[in-house]
Amino acid sequence: MSIIVTGGAGFIGANFVLSWAQSATEPIVNLDKLTYAGNPGNLVSLGTHPSYTFVRGDIGDRRLLAELLADHRPRAVLNFAAESHVDRSIYGPEDFIQTNVVGTFHLLEEVRSYWAALPEPQQRDFRFLHVSTDEVYGSLGPTDPAFRETTAYAPNSPYSASKAASDHLVRAYLHTYGVPTLTTNCSNNYGPYQFPEKLIPLMILNALSGKPLPVYGDGQNVRDWLFVGDHCAAIRVVLEKGRVGETYNIGGNSEQRNLDVVRTLCALLDELVPTSSYRPHEKLITYVKDRPGHDRRYAIDATKIRTELGWEPSETFASGLRKTVSWYLDNRAWCDNITSGSYRTWMDRNYENRGAA
């Protein structure tokens, strides 16, 4: 038996592959296109691990998918691959439609024909697990209850709309064709190997080099943060114990305002880099023009996965954030490698001439 993951060279996928290779003997195959967000350096510690296979390719490449499924005969396919950054989806939505919608469709088609030809009991035991986001539920008001699995979809960005479309396709392949699917909708992740276009690693790297810390709007938007290792553990629990056809919300019960997150990061850096000439790092905070259509608040109600499957996060926001800052401090070569080249083009595009809040 084996499993295939897609997008395993990105942030969450790489954390998943690394923990799988450390703790399971079952082979894992990683199909990744290596876009700007896919980084083989995230997996370099695997070396020539006997249970790990990397294949460079697109989830929309039907011929490649058919070959991979026939060669590896997986018991499960986990779909992490996506275009994942909201700001990029505002500048250029097309890649999001291509990968998140059309790519997921092609993947589902190939999985369907592979699954339909499986003998029993492999057909019964097969799983397609789709990794999705809480952003499909839209934006909450300050006193609204947290997102449940039954909350109506109301995506507001091209990114979240493309993820919502992919979730609907997954649902349709279950109901129409009987493909045994599982969907997870998780809140904001943070931790090692996150590409520094996202809030937490961007603020850490900017602060370390004395650059402005660009807070969008009034900094009062709320996100519900989860350490990436806890997300990966939840996905494994859903894969092994989740009920076919169900969706599971995953979250850390850790709502924070953006400004508070940035201030906490600054305080951690003041403590962990006492020799920095940029202390106190808080003075680098700069309010910039808001993200268009910026969702005000996300919050996850994770009651279902806790009560049905027994999953709970092991990190608090304080412990996870400390681990994360330490990881970025200890892995400067990884950071330097990422922040050269095309990363600079993105930073210029999103932040130069953005204007004040």
Residues with a catalytic annotation lie at 134-135, 159
CA distance 37 to 11: 8
Name the minimum Å distance from CB 277 to ligand NAD: 32
Phi, psi torsion values for 223, nearest 5 degrees? -125, 155
Q: Is 59 in the site for ligand NAD (CB under 6 A)?
A: yes
Q: Identify residues 161-180 at the interface with ligand NAD (CB under 6 A).
A: 163
164 binds ligand DAU (CB under 6 A): no
User: CB under 5 to 8 A by kind: which of ligand DAU, ligand NAD, none does 183 bind?
Assistant: none
Q: Which of 27, 74, 103, 192 binds ligand NAD (CB under 6 A)?
A: 103
| Distance between CA atoms of residues 224 and 251, nearest Å | 7
Stretch touching ligand DAU by CB under 6 A, among 18-26, 103-111, 198-206, 336-344: 198-206
Choose from ligand DAU, ligand NAD, none: what does 169 bind? Cβ within 5-8 Å by kind: none
Distance of closest approach, residue 147 Cβ to ligand NAD, in angstroms: 12
CA pair distance 236, 233, nearest whole angstrom: 5
Tokens of 195: 């590409």
Task: Decide: is 79 part of the binding site for ligand DAU (CB under 6 A).
Answer: no
Which span sits near ligand DAU by CB under 6 A: 37-45, 65-73, 82-90, 172-180? Answer: 82-90
Name the segment binding ligand DAU (CB under 6 A); options: 168-176, 213-221, 306-314, 316-324. Answer: 213-221
CB of 222 to ligand NAD, least distance (A): 14
CB nearer ligand NAD, residue 231 or residue 281: 231
Are 83 and 95 within 8 A, CB to CB? yes
Q: Can residue 54 be called a binding residue for ligand DAU (CB under 6 A)?
A: no
| Two tokens, residue 77 | 């396919």
Rule CB under 6 A: is residue 156 a binding residue for ligand NAD? Answer: no
Per rule CB under 6 A, is residue 11 in the interface with ligand NAD?
Answer: yes
The neighbour count for residue 177, using CB atoms within 10 Å, is 15
The minimum distance between CB 338 and ligand DAU, in angstroms, equals: 15
Q: Which does 298 bind (CB under 5 to 8 A by kind): ligand NAD, ligand DAU, none?
A: ligand DAU
Among 133, 183, 221, 247, interactor with ligand NAD by CB under 6 A: 133
**160 lies in the site for ligand NAD, by CB under 6 A:** no
Which positions touch ligand DAU (CB under 6 A)? 84-86, 133-135, 187-188, 198-199, 202, 214-216, 221, 223, 258, 291, 298
Which positions touch ligand NAD (CB under 6 A)? 6-7, 9-13, 31-35, 37-38, 58-60, 80-84, 99, 103, 131, 133, 163, 186, 188-189, 195
